[in-house]
């Protein structure tokens, strides 16, 4: 708890570094921060073209498929980009770690929060798409209502999961540089093993489906689907599993990170 309080005391530093990351990303860009709105809008347009006109979906539970896919991909993009950036954050900012009083845990936190800001900037596009979907713009109308109140809680759970995972991977990458290269393959496999392109209920029972249900990300993304696409409140069992996974990831990542933190300055 003392370490968590230390991180909170450095919240101003985190804010400054997040702002610096955002400015660095869009430096020299004509549209700047508008790309955070334009990118998801273009992504939705492409999905609509492909899955509404060229490859129409056959599963009623995921229709309209373009909107279903969009609801899962935005949280996944936050997850994938955060884990990638956080894993290399200590190596990227090695000079800061050699400063005696610099709190190393700030760097993975900045990676997660900076990508979280991109997710927040894309939310207006998602909300507009959901409103259009509720009006039948994508064909089959989708429900829209109080279930959206779950979004802030889901963001908090995902942030905790990503911070814990980022702490673990950043500490590991300092000593094993191969982690950075292996991570892209792991994320690719994890993407297809997570219910983003499909729902577990649509898959045949038993076999591989049983293994996919044990994916620790499955409850979180099932809750995202419920809140955004299906317009319903996720079951308590889903909330319990997603919360447990996030808290375990945070506790394990925090413990591992601080066990190795004294070796960071020499290894980077």
Q: Which one has a higher pLDDT value, 163 or 212?
A: 163
pLDDT at 163: 96
**End-to-end CA gap in the chain:** 27
pLDDT at 176: 83
Our CA angle for 162, 167, 169, nearest 5°, is 90
Percent of the chain with pLDDT over 70: 82
pLDDT at 22: 72
CA–CA distance, 242 with 265 (Å, rounded to integer):
34
Q: What is the value of pTM for the model shown?
A: 0.88
Calculate mean pLDDT across residues 173-178.
85
- Is the pLDDT score of 24 beyond 60? yes
Q: How far is CA 44 from CA 31, 191, 206, in A?
A: 19, 18, 33
Calculate mean pLDDT across residues 163-171.
94
- Is the pLDDT score of 177 beyond 60? yes
Q: Which one has a higher pLDDT value, 146 or 100?
A: 146
Q: What is the DSSP string of the chain?
A: -HHHHHHHHTHHHHHHHHHHHHHHHHTT-SSGGGHHHHHHHHHHHHHHIIIIIIS----GGG-SHHHHHHHHHHHHHHHHHHHHHHHTHHHHTHHHHTSTT--TTHHHHHHHHHHHHHHHHHHHHHHHHHHHHHTTTTSS----SGGGGGHHHHHHHHHHHHHHHHHHHHHHHHH-THHHHHHHHHHHHHHHHSTTSS-GGGSPSSTHHHHHTT-TTHHHHHHHHIIIII-SPPPHHHHHHHHHHHHHHHHHHHHHHHHHGGGHHHH-
pLDDT at 27: 63
Rg (alpha carbons) of the chain, rounded to whole number: 19
- Is the pLDDT score of 137 beyond 90? no
pLDDT at 261: 80
Domain ranges of the chain: 2-267
110-120: pLDDT as tens digits? 999 999 988 99
pLDDT at 55: 60
- Is the pLDDT score of 160 beyond 70? yes
- Is the pLDDT score of 4 beyond 70? no
89-109: pLDDT as tens digits? 888 877 777 766 778 888 899
């Amino acid at each position: 708890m003392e370490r968590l309080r230390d991180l909170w005391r450095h919240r101003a530093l985190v804010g400054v570094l997040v702002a610096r990351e955002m400015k660095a990303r869009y430096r020299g860009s004509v549209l700047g921060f508008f790309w955070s709105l334009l990118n998801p809008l273009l992504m939705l347009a492409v999905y609509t073209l492909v899955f509404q006109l060229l490859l129409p979906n056959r599963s009623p539970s995921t229709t309209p498929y373009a909107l279903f896919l969009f609801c899962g991909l935005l949280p996944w993009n936050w997850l994938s980009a955060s884990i990638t950036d956080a894993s290399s954050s200590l190596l990227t900012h090695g000079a800061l770690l050699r400063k005696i009083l610099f709190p190393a845990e700030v760097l993975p936190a900045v990676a997660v929060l900076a990508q979280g800001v991109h997710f927040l900037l894309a939310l207006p596009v998602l909300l507009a798409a959901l409103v259009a979907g509720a009006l039948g713009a994508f064909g089959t109308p989708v429900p829209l209502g109080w279930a959206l109140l779950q979004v802030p809680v889901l963001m908090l759970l995902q942030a905790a999961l990503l911070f814990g995972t980022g702490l673990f991977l950043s500490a590991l990458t300092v000593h094993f540089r191969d982690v950075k290269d292996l991570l892209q393959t792991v994320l690719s496999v994890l993407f297809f093993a997570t219910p983003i392109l499909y729902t577990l209920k649509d898959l045949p029972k038993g076999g591989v489906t049983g293994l996919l249900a044990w994916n620790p990300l499955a409850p979180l993304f099932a809750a995202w689907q419920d809140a955004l696409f299906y317009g319903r409140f996720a079951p308590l069992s889903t909330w319990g599993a997603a919360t447990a996974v996030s808290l375990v990831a945070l506790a394990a990542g925090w413990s591992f990170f601080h066990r190795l933190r004294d070796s960071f300055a020499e290894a980077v």
